[in-house]
Amino acid sequence: MTDEPIDIGVLGYRFMGKAHANALDRLPMFFEDAPETNRHTVIGRDEEALADAAETLGFEHTATDWCEVIDEVDAFYNLGPNHLHVEPSIAALEAGTPVLCEKPLAPTLAGAEEMRDAAAAADVPAACAFNYRFVPAIRYAKRLIDAGELGEIRQVRGRYLQDWLSDPEAPWSWRNDEDMAGSGALGDLGAHTIDLARFLVGDRVSEAASVSGHRKTFTEERPVEGADGETRPVTVDDAYSAQVEYDSGAMATFEASRVTEGHKNDHTIAVHGSEGSLQFSLERLNELEVMTGDARGYETVLVTDEDDPYIDHWWPPGHVIGWEHTFVHENYEFLTSVAQNPTNGGDEVGGTGEGAEFHPNFEDAYEVQRVLDAIGRSDAEGVRVNLN
């Protein structure tokens, strides 16, 4: 592994910029074998806001053009709006710079395919930031499933419910525009659930074979913040539901909504097999509900022991961790893969995931995008869509 600090360039400095900057702060405190990093450049359009962000988030430089940065850094974090995922990420990969891109991979399947192909042609890590794969309880669940504790997987159920757009007077943003976002609740929230399903049961049920989907927009236009009386159309879904059949014969039901009153960040996934079941809720992030063997009901497992995934880096057993820690784990795995990549002078295998090959990569994210696209087409055409 190279001993040189990894210079990081970040496109975007708001919600996700803060989450990743916080993770970079925590890494050297709690993960002693994490690569050393240097927050080199933060990228955005507003120079004044950039200067404030650089000071707050700890970056040395600012830039208003990502083209000027991708050759100057050792890793490029693309945390911008969805419509900015494709071009900068591909350019960075073609320059030989590892990329971590936020989800969903692209607004469209065609864009995701371009990104997947660029990653396949590059000799550097290309990661998609599905941070919920790095929840210790989710890793614990995967261990149980991979060990066959649930038997033959029959059903997967996932939902992601929020309420931040329930008020029709909530202001319009880029997330309400199809050209910039690609989709609404489907891509913003559903992508997470579909990726978690692939992560948990993918080795046992293979890929999705067919999909039936339904999308709904409840508020057709929203006010423009700061522009009295002006509105803009909402061209994405507020909610979606889908039914999926896997190659193995297993089935799944997925749903998400950004207009579900009383739900702030309710991400739940359940897996049912011939010999047991488990279920996880992000609102109880340190717990996993498990039923296996001769049990007559679910047992609540508190995933905070030293031998549970990632927990040995944090607090004594029983002391819970939070949502922000998933980004620490994600950055640890990604940056370890960058440091160990042969093009960066590395040749060791480390981390607690898949070693020098980071997952979820762009191929994983492309497969999620295939399902998202199929759900959208199913709704638009009123037919079940085959993916094989």
Q: How many residues in total does the chain contain?
A: 388
What is the model's pLDDT at position 118? 98
What is the model's pLDDT at position 228? 87
**The 3-state secondary structure of 6-17, one letter per residue:** EEEEEECCCHHH
Two tokens, residue 365: 């994210």
Angle at the Cα of 379 from the Cα atoms of 109 and 242, rounded to 5 degrees: 85
Q: Which amino acid is it at 195?
A: D
Q: List, for residues 359-375, the tens digit of each pLDDT value.
A: 999 999 999 999 999 99
Using the predicted structure, report yes or no on whether residue 326 has a pLDDT greater than 70: yes
What is the model's pLDDT at position 353? 47
Helices 362-381, 109-121: axis angle to 10 degrees equals: 160
Residue 278's DSSP bridge partners are 271, 290
CA–CA gap between residue 376 and residue 193 (Å, rounded):
16
**pLDDT, mean of residues 65-81:** 97
Tell me what the pLDDT averaged over the chain comes to.
94
What is the model's pLDDT at position 169? 96
Residue with the two structure tokens 């879904």: 237
Q: Write down the pTM of the prediction.
A: 0.94
SS3 322: coil
Using the predicted structure, report yes or no on whether residue 273 has a pLDDT greater than 50: yes
Half-sphere exposure of 9 (CA within 13 A, CB side): 25
What is the model's pLDDT at position 352? 53
Q: What b/e sequence results for 146-181 when a residue is b if at least 16 CB atoms lie within 10 Å of its CB, and e otherwise?
A: eeebbeebbebbbbbbbbebbeeebebeebbbbebb
Q: List, for residues 229-248, the tens digit of each pLDDT value.
A: 899 999 999 999 999 999 99
CA–CA gap between residue 371 and residue 350 (Å, rounded):
32
Residue 221's nearest CA partner among 238, 234, 235, 236 is 234
List CB contacts of 216: < 8 A, sequence separation 6 or more.
Answer: 237, 238, 239, 240
**pLDDT, mean of residues 189-209:** 92
**pLDDT, mean of residues 195-203:** 94
Helices 191-205, 136-146: axis angle to 10 degrees equals: 20
What is the model's pLDDT at position 344? 54
Q: List, for residues 150-179, the tens digit of each pLDDT value.
A: 999 999 999 999 999 999 999 999 999 999
Place 347 in a pLDDT band, splitting at 50, 70 and 90: very low
What is the model's pLDDT at position 172? 97
Place 203 in a pLDDT band, splitting at 50, 70 and 90: confident
Using the predicted structure, report yes or no on whether residue 350 has a pLDDT greater than 60: no
Q: Supply the DSSP string of 102-152, one letter for each residue.
A: ESSS-SSHHHHHHHHHHHHHSSS-EEEE-GGGG-HHHHHHHHHHHTTTT-S
What are the chain's domains? 6-132+324-357 (3.40.50.720), 136-284+286-317+369-386 (3.30.360.10)
Q: List, for residues 120-144, the tens digit of each pLDDT value.
A: 999 899 999 999 999 999 999 999 9
Two tokens, residue 107: 């607004």
The answer to whether 119 and 361 are in contact (CB under 8 A) is: yes
SS3 53: helix
Residue 177's nearest CA partner among 145, 242, 120, 222 is 222
CA–CA gap between residue 128 and residue 112 (Å, rounded):
11
